[in-house]
Structure 1
């Protein structure tokens, strides 16, 4: 109202430190930006002085909004020194009662086992839908890659081959040698008992070239490169780099997904060959130490003990495992929500699912080629 006095706060030190609240403390007067800034600054200054005497007797009119501002400045409790008009007592009494009421948080709905199972099934279908869409987009990107190879992201492809393939040579070599030594040692103990020392070449050749080599390389790549791909895409999601790429018209699939899939499809067969060589070298060293079998004899007997088709089956497994690992890692990376908890959970799920899918794919290979290579 025009005739109402603007709300004010006045600090005084005579005869004791006090703050005099005066004017009309009504919502339409306090809502003015200039008045609100000045009153908020003064209330903040008064909040840091608990020894002040609050004199509210000069207030002409007071509504709930004005009382609420004072109540918050007092820390939701009455100051030790307070003077007010009896007509205003009811407002602060109600605020005091409301502050004492503790509103319990609503209990989370308890899911029954049927509801939990349904949620998991729906989540599975959601993952399958997203994965199918990612696979379809990859097919379109590969078709574009074939039609316009000169415009393909060769730098991204080369960088991913280096990161997923060349940088993984050390760990795959170490694990391969150790697995070869362990397998040769365990086999030699049994073969020596039955006088079948020569069959160690068959055991090492078939188990490493056909099964252990591709599986070891795939598990190591899933834990090393798969998690890195998921984390990279997840960080790009958190920092909104993916949104920036979309705004600039840069397709995610063609620039991010396809190079990673192609890189692992190329690098995995080479890593399988490298792991096979290292594992056979470890087994050959162990066979010489335990059975006295020379490396020359081991290499001479290896082509006779292991048909060549097993080598090609191992390479086919490597390429398939590489594609699956890359697709799963990209799938979980693109599903990361913009928070750190989702990033860690998505990376963990990516590695676990990738290793599980690799084992399932290996079992399918074993069934399909059960009569080949023996």
Structure 2
């Protein structure tokens, strides 16, 4: 006796070949292990004969999934010879009305295909225009803030300085110290080979104060605070807090974006100075251990080795990098859709874009100030 709980297909030799369909053609039965494979094997062995007779009178139960399976087997049309109980007629009548509708095939094109390149350019142009609009709105909000500073979002600015600046002192100090130690050890080995031990102060001072300090602090802040800003705005989008702010007449730019930009513009130069100091301390200790350069000699030689203009260039980089990180994070945070998948993708894209823009801005600084800060 066949199991009436499982869907089965058997071919019988009557007046003409007959396919007997029996069992429970329902989703919970069709998804049992091995059932679908057995049915597909039987279907592949059916003769390609238009006069094939289908007998569905022994089906114990049928749902839309089972009916769709049989409908696809028939080539989306009723066979000429079909024994179908009346109680199942409604399933196939519904499929006859929609059976000609097919889902569009999803075509994947390589990224270098013209259509893919055009789509990527459109998305890029959309991001650029939206980013420019965000900068314009920020300029208007800064003008409003300057006109009436007593009504400005001081609490938001103070809170963001604490979260973005003060709470980042630990990680920037740790990474900066290690970078200073590593750079000092590697440079000392090469300089000692050529007898240029005293020039270690010049290499450490110029590389850390002018380049590595601002860039390292910006990358850490982009990964730490930039992702937090994007995630915060994204969660506010998911929980509809942004819509509630607009209903209450509270603009996003003045209460959310401008405080974060101002806070990062204030915090980043301070973090750059902090990172520079800790990295130089790490390099100083490594220089003493590797080349026996005393800390006193290191501190006395540093002002002469690094012109003052390099300090101002590093601080200026901190201000620019901070504004760029805040704008990029807010840009992607406001574009997040109200679902968790978009939140994760937006946060990841925000961090990657912020780090990329920071490196590009650093390259622009290097080109613009190529003749500044050298003897």
TM interval, shorter chain, is: 0.7 to 0.9
1:299-338 paired onto structure 2 within 5 Å: 299-338=299-338
Matches within 5 A, 1:60-79: 75=63
Flag the structure with larger Rg: 1
Q: Deviations over 1:134-192 (max 9, x none)?
A: 10000000000100000000000000000000000000000000000000000100111
Query: Are residues 1:288 and 2:283 paired?
Result: no
Aligned to 2:152: 152
Aligned to 1:254: 254
Instruction: Give the C-alpha shift of residue 290 in structure 1.
Output: 0.7
1:277, distance to aligned residue in structure 2 (A) = 0.2
What's the offset of the Cα at 1:91?
5.0
Structure 1 residue 95, shift from structure 2 partner:
2.2
TM-score, scaled relative to structure 1: 0.75
Q: Which residue of structure 2 aligns with residue 105 of structure 1?
A: 103
Give the 3 Å change call, closer, same or farther, for CA 100–141 of structure 1 in structure 2: closer
Matches within 5 A, 1:1-374: 75=63, 92-98=87-93, 105-111=103-109, 113-374=113-374
Aligned-pair CA distance for 1:94: 2.5
Residue 3 of structure 2 is matched in structure 1 by none
- Partner Cα separation in structure 2 for residue 217 and residue 110 of structure 1: 40
- Tell me, in whole angstroms, the C-alpha distance in 1 between the residues paired with 2:342 and 2:280: 41
CA contact (8 A) 2:336 2:342 kept: yes
TM-superposed deviation, 1:97? 3.5
Per the alignment, in what secondary structure is the counterpart of residue 250 of structure 2? Answer: coil
Judge conservation of contact 2:62–2:88 (CA < 8 Å) in 1. no
Q: Runs of 4 or more off by more than 6 Å in structure 1?
A: 99-103
Q: CA-to-partner distance for each residue in 1:345-374, whole Å, 9 max, x for gaps?
A: 000000000000000000000000000111
Q: Provide the rounded CA distance (Å) in 2 between the counterparts of 1:212 and 1:144.
A: 36
Q: 1:96 to 1:156 in 2, by over 3 A?
A: closer
What is the count of residue pairs matched by the alignment? Answer: 292
Structure 1: distance between partners of 2:224 and 2:88: 64
**Shift in Å at residue 106 of structure 1?**
2.8
TM-score between the two structures when normalised by the length of structure 2 = 0.75
Shift in Å, 1:129: 1.1
Deviation for aligned residue 1:108: 2.1
TM-aligned CA distance change 1:316 to 1:100, over 3 Å? same
Give the drift of 1:107: 1.3
Deviation at residue 248 of structure 1 after TM alignment? 0.3
Q: Distance in 1 between matches of 2:204 and 2:221?
A: 22
- Tell me the CA shift for residue 111 of structure 1: 4.7
Unaligned runs of 5+ in 1: 1-72, 79-88
Q: CA RMSD in A?
A: 2.0
In structure 2, distance between residues paired with 1:292 and 1:151 = 57
In the other structure, the counterpart of 2:20 is: none
* Inter-partner Cα distance in structure 1 for 2:115 and 2:363: 32
Q: Write the deviation string for residues 230-279 of structure 1: whole angstroms up to 9, x where unpaired.
A: 00000000110000000000010000000000000000000000000000
SS of alignment partner, residue 337 of structure 1: coil
